[in-house]
Amino acid sequence: MSQNTVDINNSSDAIIEIKGRHDPCIVPRVVPVIESVAAFVILDMMLDENPEYIKSRWSL
């Protein structure tokens, strides 16, 4: 896979190619991701049990 770019040393167009496999690493972000998913699950459970809770708690 190639990408168009600019060579700032020569002020000319260039093409950059990165070879290999580059997967994003989620390890440093695991805790915030789990907290976010847990918040959605808790909200879903709250809405299943008492949908009026959200309306009475916050006026939308």
Tally of domains within the chain: 1
Give the pLDDT confidence score for residue 60 in this predicted structure: 53
- Look at residue 46 and tell me if it is in a domain: yes
- Look at residue 11 and tell me if it is in a domain: no
Give the pLDDT confidence score for residue 50 in this predicted structure: 80
- Look at residue 3 and tell me if it is in a domain: no
- Look at residue 1 and tell me if it is in a domain: no
Where would I find the H helices in 1-60? 30-49, 52-57
Q: Taking 90 as the threshold, does the pLDDT of residue 41 lie above it?
A: yes
The Cα–Cα gap between 27 and 33 comes to 10
- Chain-wide mean pLDDT for the chain? 84
Structural domain boundaries, residue 31: 24-60
- Look at residue 6 and tell me if it is in a domain: no
Stretch 13-29: mean pLDDT: 83
- Look at residue 37 and tell me if it is in a domain: yes
Percentage of the chain exceeding pLDDT 90: 38
- Confidence grade of residue 40 (pLDDT, cut at 50, 70, 90): very high
